[in-house]
């Protein structure tokens, strides 16, 4: 397991140093702001949604390595997905990192999100790992309040 942990750590650090889709989007159809007061993670999310499909997604802001890597990986995963698919991935990811997943659940089905398997042992880190997703759901539901992890 140690090797896997190290590999996961490397992936997280790499995404936090070189985040994907890390820029502002001028013609976004949906936006939301997310803030995790416990850690200080603070991001803005931009989406371009057409006919129920996430055509484009980007984010900007700052936060710890886990929150930034999670936002980076999330954007690369949900781009091109339907809203329903994105919500389903979040449900699976959320129960996975909060340790509530079914015992038959296969983490490999989460693809790149499996790198956050270690955070389920650290409740404070779960908030960092899920912040971008809570923000995404708020953006999809066009909620105007800031998404927090509380
Ligand atoms: Zn954080």
| Domains of the chain from N-terminus onward | 2-140 (3.90.1010.10)
Q: How confident is the model at residue 150 (pLDDT cuts 50, 70, 90)?
A: low
Measured in angstroms, how far is the CA atom of residue 82 from the centroid of ligand 1? 27
Tokens of 94: 């959320």
Mean pLDDT of all residues in 90-100 = 92
Measured in angstroms, how far is the CA atom of residue 50 from the centroid of ligand 1? 31
Whether residue 134 is predicted with pLDDT greater than 80 in this model: the reply is yes
Q: What is the structure's pLDDT at 146?
A: 79
Mean pLDDT of all residues in 110-132 = 91
Q: Mean pLDDT over all residues of the chain?
A: 92
Measured in angstroms, how far is the CA atom of residue 141 from the centroid of ligand 1? 24
∠ CA 122-124-128, nearest 5°, is: 105
What are 7-57's pLDDT values in tens digits? 899 999 999 999 999 999 999 999 999 999 999 999 999 999 999 999 999
- The answer to whether residues 22 and 58 touch, using CB atoms and an 8 Å cutoff, is yes
Q: What is the structure's pLDDT at 2?
A: 65
Mean pLDDT of all residues in 75-97 = 95
Tokens of 73: 């990986």
Whether residue 1 is predicted with pLDDT greater than 80 in this model: the reply is no
| 107 or 87, greater pLDDT | 87
Measured in angstroms, how far is the CA atom of residue 38 from the centroid of ligand 1? 8
Please give the backbone phi and psi of residue 101, each rounded to the nearest 5 degrees, phi first: -70, 150
Q: What is the structure's pLDDT at 118?
A: 86
Measured in angstroms, how far is the CA atom of residue 62 from the centroid of ligand 1? 9
Q: What is the structure's pLDDT at 87?
A: 95
Whether residue 123 is predicted with pLDDT greater than 80 in this model: the reply is yes
∠ CA 136-138-143, nearest 5°, is: 150
Measured in angstroms, how far is the CA atom of residue 2 from the centroid of ligand 1? 23
Measured in angstroms, how far is the CA atom of residue 97 from the centroid of ligand 1? 14
């Amino acid at each position: 397991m140690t090797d896997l942990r190290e590999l996961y750590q490397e992936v997280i650090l790499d995404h936090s140093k070189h985040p994907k889709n890390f820029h502002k989007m001028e013609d976004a159809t949906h936006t939301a702001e997310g803030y995790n007061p416990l850690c200080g993670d603070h991001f803005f999310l931009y989406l371009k949604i057409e006919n129920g499909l996430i055509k484009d997604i980007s984010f900007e802001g700052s936060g710890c390595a886990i929150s930034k890597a999670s936002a980076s990986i999330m954007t690369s995963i949900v781009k091109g997905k339907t809203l329903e698919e994105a919500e389903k991935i979040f449900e699976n990811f959320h129960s996975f990192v909060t340790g509530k997943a079914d015992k038959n659940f296969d983490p490999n089905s989460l693809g790149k999100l499996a790198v956050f398997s270690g955070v389920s042992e650290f409740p404070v880190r779960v908030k960092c790992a899920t912040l971008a997703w809570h923000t995404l759901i708020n953006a999809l539901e066009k909620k105007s309040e800031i998404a927090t992890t509380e």
